[in-house]
Amino acid sequence: MERTKKFLWCFFLTAFTAFVFFNTASWAQDAPLASWNDTLPKQKILEFVSTVTAEGNPEFVVPEQRIAVFDNDGTLWAEQPVYFQVYFIIDRIRQLAPQHPEWKDQEPFASVLKGDMKTALSRGMKPLLEMVMATHGGMSTEEFKHIVLEWIKEAKHPETGKHFTDMVYQPMLELLDYLQANGFKTFIVSGGGIEFMRPWTESVYGIPPEQVVGSSIKTQYEVRDGKPAIVRLKELNFIDDKEGKPVAINQHIGHRPIMAFGNSNGDFQMLEWTTSGSGSRFGMLVHHTDADREYAYDRNSHIGKLDRGLDEVQERGWVLMDMKKDWNTVFKK
Amino acid sequence: MERTKKFLWCFFLTAFTAFVFFNTASWAQDAPLASWNDTLPKQKILEFVSTVTAEGNPEFVVPEQRIAVFDNDGTLWAEQPVYFQVYFIIDRIRQLAPQHPEWKDQEPFASVLKGDMKTALSRGMKPLLEMVMATHGGMSTEEFKHIVLEWIKEAKHPETGKHFTDMVYQPMLELLDYLQANGFKTFIVSGGGIEFMRPWTESVYGIPPEQVVGSSIKTQYEVRDGKPAIVRLKELNFIDDKEGKPVAINQHIGHRPIMAFGNSNGDFQMLEWTTSGSGSRFGMLVHHTDADREYAYDRNSHIGKLDRGLDEVQERGWVLMDMKKDWNTVFKK
């Protein structure tokens, strides 16, 4: 009896030790995707991940090829009434105005300073680019990072009063965790500014700077007084939208993803490129249907317009995620 | 006594179980850098890595910031008598010649087809770029990957008779392993073509495509007969050399590395940018001093010219690695 007890105790201790080491990671995976209802999108995600991670399954994908790409605006965080980066531009123009007395009479800056955003933003691409360059160029990459971090810590959404990083979607945070725990490398592929996102994506999404792809301005390496810097020029480098997304995916990542998540026409080609590869592929569109908890918009929206994806989601075998029906929580808890 | 034995047995089993799980990774690290002699460069590397990975050390660096960048030509594999990608260009021109009868009378192609490489390569940048475009552009990224893989499997170095991927440096393979085992993310940052390297860097160096940065031509997303492709255009996108290296590091990686390894003037700015950051930093130049086992060249070489780095290595606190003295093995074993 004594012997049996000793054996059991010892067996327990050994097993427990092994168990702790084996399971530390998988504990976090209990009940994945808790903020997703048990509807089709969640089922499809679980089914896909279980298929491609099952060794021996003909659809098994080695970890090196488990690349998942996510649009940011409207897919990982909200994008209404305008892209959050626009608030950054506006706040920066106000901050910089004392150094630019000429802006008082110069559009689109004059409208911004008067608080007339509608006029400022209704003049098309050229004035918008001028505002981008005035606020994003002319400093070093390190200075810009500091500016973004200071802003994102303080700034609040004009309608919800939340910090912008609290307007990331809880179900998508759970999805990123779930994919990462299953050996996926998760990338952001966004029309937003690459250097606008990188300072905070690691702490907010668990996505490091080298896994962030976005639009960019040109930069230049300079040594001033013996101190090197990468200086941000006031010149466009790349727009990471529509056909640009597969191009940027190829340039930054170098393989075709097996999962893609988007929400607007700007993501169509990224989903098309991802899901037209061989083997199991997964494409999902976030459909903004919840005016109570978030926003409801698609075909007629100026921001995040979605029509072609809605029309072709069936024939392409993509999953349409209906925010109102499929998510029990929207924003980060 | 019986109780003590049981206790010891149990203690041993528990400890052993824990030990196995803790140490599986570190076993591989026994005697790191075996192909490096016990001279200064190896000592400096071991000392640096042990410093930045020791929690509690004021110079400790969190794993997310442990970024190490490596030049490729002359740093990870050989580059004499010409960059290996030039052999690819030459072989491709020969293969494509039947489809281009006009090349017989058109320089630089005519010289290549006559086997007169000296003339073909001595005409400067413009004809070289023409050869690059003729052989690297005009197909999809997937076709190009296939072409590179077929070539690298067969082609051999004209002087050593080795496959090019057998002319990678054994000490650098050990260094990559050692850094990866210590939580470093290792990137290639090369003047060579990004899509020329990516097909084989994972199997040869353990560096996946998304951690390869290089020169590139422009690409375009196209859908032909419903089938999407990324088409390689005959137009230069980016030259990843000299001042271009810090720019590309910022664009692709988004943080400043803490270690950089190069061998020529083309790597100067990469080392400068890396080692001028705050905290512990490490820069090393591979000095090609071994005409018996490899090649000996520096200040007067057309390929891999190194002068400024040699002159400033002391004042900048970089390590000069002398291939003859500091490596006991050169090529991959």
Residues A260-310 pLDDT 10s: 999 999 999 999 999 999 999 999 999 999 999 999 999 999 999 999 999
Angle at A253 between CA A252 and CA A259, to 5 degrees: 130
* CA-based nearest residue to B233, from A72, A250, A34, A328: A250
Partner B contacted by A13 (CB < 8 A): yes
Task: Round to whole Å and give the CA distance between A193 and A206.
Answer: 18
Task: Tell me whether strands A227-238 and A212-224 are parallel, antiparallel or unpaired.
Answer: antiparallel
* CA-based nearest residue to A274, from A283, A265, A284, A266: A283
Asked if A269 and B17 come within 8 Å (Cβ–Cβ), the reply is no
Distance from CA of B139 to the nearest CA of A (A): 14
Partner B contacted by A140 (CB < 8 A): no
Partner B contacted by A326 (CB < 8 A): no
Longest dimension (CA), chain B: 95
Type and span of the H or E element at A251:
helix A244-252
- Positive or negative, the Cα torsion across A4, A6, A9, A13? negative
Partner B contacted by A210 (CB < 8 A): yes
pLDDT bin (cut points 50, 70, 90) of residue A24 is very low
Residues in chain B, pLDDT under 70: 1-30
Residue A214 near residue A240, CB atoms below 8 Å: yes
> What is the per-residue pLDDT for A331?
98
ipTM of the shown complex: 0.90
pLDDT bin (cut points 50, 70, 90) of residue A198 is very high
> What is the per-residue pLDDT for B12?
58
**Looking at the domain assignment, is residue A22 inside a domain?**
no
- A199, A255: one domain: yes
Within its chain, how far is the Cα of B257 from the centroid? Answer: 15
What are the tens digits of pLDDT across the range B146-195?
999 999 999 999 999 999 999 999 999 999 999 999 999 999 999 999 99
- B222, B258: one domain: yes
Amino acid at B312: E
B47-63 b/e with 16+ CB inside 10 Å = b? ebbebbbeeeeeeebee
Q: Inform me whether the pLDDT recorded for A4 exceeds 80.
A: no
Distance from CA of B320 to the nearest CA of A (A): 22
> What is the per-residue pLDDT for B214?
98
- A130, A233: one domain: no
Report the mean per-residue pLDDT for chain A: 93
Contacts of A144 (CB under 8 A, 6+ apart): A136, A195, A232
Task: Round to whole Å and give the CA distance between A312 and A268.
Answer: 10
Q: Inform me whether the pLDDT recorded for A151 exceeds 60.
A: yes
> What is the per-residue pLDDT for B125?
83
Asked if B273 and A18 come within 8 Å (Cβ–Cβ), the reply is no
Distance from CA of A107 to the nearest CA of B (A): 31
User: Choosing among A148, A218, A251, A272, which should be mutated to test the B contact, i.e. which has the most B CBs within 10 A?
Assistant: A251
**Looking at the domain assignment, is residue B46 inside a domain?**
yes
Partner B contacted by A277 (CB < 8 A): no
- B118, B69: one domain: no
**Looking at the domain assignment, is residue B302 inside a domain?**
yes
What are the tens digits of pLDDT across the range B50-98?
999 999 999 999 999 999 999 999 999 999 999 999 999 999 999 999 9
> What is the per-residue pLDDT for B250?
98
**Looking at the domain assignment, is residue A2 inside a domain?**
no
- A306, A175: one domain: yes
Instruction: Indicate the SS3 state at residue B194.
Output: helix
Q: Inform me whether the pLDDT recorded for A165 exceeds 80.
A: yes
What are the tens digits of pLDDT across the range A223-255?
999 999 999 999 999 999 999 999 999 999 999
Partner B contacted by A228 (CB < 8 A): yes
pLDDT bin (cut points 50, 70, 90) of residue A15 is low
pLDDT bin (cut points 50, 70, 90) of residue A125 is confident
> What is the per-residue pLDDT for A28?
46
Type and span of the H or E element at B251:
helix B244-252
- B128, B257: one domain: no
Distance from CA of A11 to the nearest CA of B (A): 8
**Looking at the domain assignment, is residue A104 inside a domain?**
yes
- A288, A202: one domain: yes
Type and span of the H or E element at A322:
strand A319-322
Instruction: Nearest chain B residue to A141 by CA: give it.
Output: B250
Q: Inform me whether the pLDDT recorded for A27 exceeds 80.
A: no
- B182, B210: one domain: yes
pLDDT bin (cut points 50, 70, 90) of residue A109 is very high
**Looking at the domain assignment, is residue A245 inside a domain?**
yes
- B171, B279: one domain: yes
Print the domain residue range for A189.
28-81+162-326
> What is the per-residue pLDDT for A25?
45
Q: Cis omega (within 30 of 0) on the bond before A108?
A: yes
pLDDT bin (cut points 50, 70, 90) of residue A117 is confident
Residue B187 near residue B257, CB atoms below 8 Å: yes
* CA-based nearest residue to A264, from A324, A314, A307, A296: A307
What's the number of CA atoms in the CB half-sphere (13 Å) around residue B224? 8
Put simply, the chain A residues between 236 and 265 with a CB less than 8 A from any chain B CB are: 243-247, 250-255
How many structural domains does chain A have?
A: 2
Nearest residue, CB atoms, B17 vs list A18, A195, A250 = A18
Task: Round to whole Å and give the CA distance between A265 and A284.
Answer: 13
- A173, A206: one domain: yes
Instruction: Nearest chain B residue to A242 by CA: give it.
Output: B221
- B61, B104: one domain: no
Q: Inform me whether the pLDDT recorded for A11 exceeds 90.
A: no
> What is the per-residue pLDDT for B28?
46
Instruction: Indicate the SS3 state at residue A71.
Output: coil
- Positive or negative, the Cα torsion across A221, A224, A228, A229? negative
> What is the per-residue pLDDT for B26?
46
- A98, A48: one domain: no
Partner A contacted by B230 (CB < 8 A): yes
Cβ-based neighbour number of residue A107 at 10 Å = 13
**Looking at the domain assignment, is residue A19 inside a domain?**
no
What integer is the mean pLDDT of A106-134? Answer: 90
Provide the CATH number for the domain around residue B227. 3.40.50.1000
In the numeric block, which tokens belong to residue A232? 């941000």
**Looking at the domain assignment, is residue A5 inside a domain?**
no
